[in-house]
Amino acid sequence: MNTTTPTKEFDILLYGATSFVGKIMISYLATYAEETFSWAIAGRDEQKLLALKKEHGLTSVPHFVADASDETALTALCEKTNVIISTVGPYALYGETLVKVCANTGTDYCDLTGEPQWIKAMLDKYEPQAQASGARIINCSGFDSIPSDLGVYFSQQSAIEKTGSPAKQIKMRVYKIKGAASGGTIASMLNVLKEASDNPSLRKLLVNPYMLCNAGHPFHLRQKNHKKAEYDNDLSIWTMPFVMAAINERIVHRSNQLLGTMYGKDFKYDEAMSSKTASTAWITTLGLGAFVGAASFAPVRNLLANHILPKPGEGPSVDDQENGMFDMRFYAELNNGKRQVVQVTGDKDPGYGSTAKMLSQAALCLAKDIPDVKGGFWTPASALGDALIHRLGKHAGVFIKEL
């Protein structure tokens, strides 16, 4: 937020309140009483907004109607709030106008996109406006990529404290995870595959681990790209590709640049799922490869979207959300020859129950805790850092600690 402007009516405004994640966030914010804040909700369907307010007893929470492409209506929302949270995806289809308006009006913004090609496009188009207006734009404020981004940030802080220098390499391994995908996440994934299949230059860009770093970045080291099941001799575990690595790794490298290369110019980072057995690793890898390969063809992609996979607005049941969890391990080789292991854990379904809490706390952190951060496109670690780590542990069931 541009701190020279008067305080606005609301601390946070949730745009996309009737989306699958939006509804979970409403439930969380409606019962969140640990601090005082003013908030409102918005979406394109007033009847759905009214029904949502009635369901949660939120008659006193204001609501507003705005279409994702209506620049005038979105500008009016920005005039009312310090921070806008967007859950309207796929962001590549529906997200640009709100980012444009926030960048132009000096309104802080956060979302839960995992679409690297869209983030790159928004950076190229709107970062100068955000820097000029004072708007702090923070993408990837959910399961992708807060646990990864803060896990590396915490690990490197600890490494520097112990040895005086950052770890040259960190490996993140998903130790355990329990969760399911919603229609919105699947729609975003299918759209990335569609864009990549139609655009050879985009396919080339997407494999660049530094694609989200600003021009002139100092990073040139080749990074590990997990494409198959393999045994990690250093950690004595089987590994397999982690679908979120494509966005998480790129956010981590952008954080490194924004933090003044705090992790070093020759920092290596990779993510993978861990497995107890070779058979599980290979079966999972082959299944994921078959899905991505098939979904790269338009007829199969349309069949999956229209008749087989969950549609936007659909997702895990309440029981599945409550019973989900994640446990991620960050293995760092320190310059004193010792290994450091940091654990990031979260309760509830990672992509929905936990993401709703992470995104809510990121927005509140943006609204209340970091007045000195200037306008521009940031990452969770580079803008919110320690303040968000504290919030997540206290209010969101996400804990970061050294083992």
User: Where are the chain's structural domains?
Assistant: 10-142+353-391, 146-349
How far is Cα of residue 49 from the mean position of the Cα atoms in its chain?
25
Share of the chain above pLDDT 90, in %: 76
H helices, E strands: number in the chain = 15, 14
Contacts of 317 (CB under 8 A, 6+ apart): none
Give me the percent of the chain exceeding a pLDDT of 70: 94
Residue 204: enclosing H or E segment and its boundaries? helix 200-206
Query: What average pLDDT does range 100-128 have in this prediction?
Result: 97
98 near 15, Cβ under 8 Å? yes
pTM value is: 0.93
Q: What is the CATH number of domain 10-142+353-391?
A: 3.40.50.720
pLDDT at 307 (0 to 100): 63
Is it the case that residue 3 has pLDDT exceeding 50? no
pLDDT band at 382 (very low <50, low <70, confident <90, very high): very high
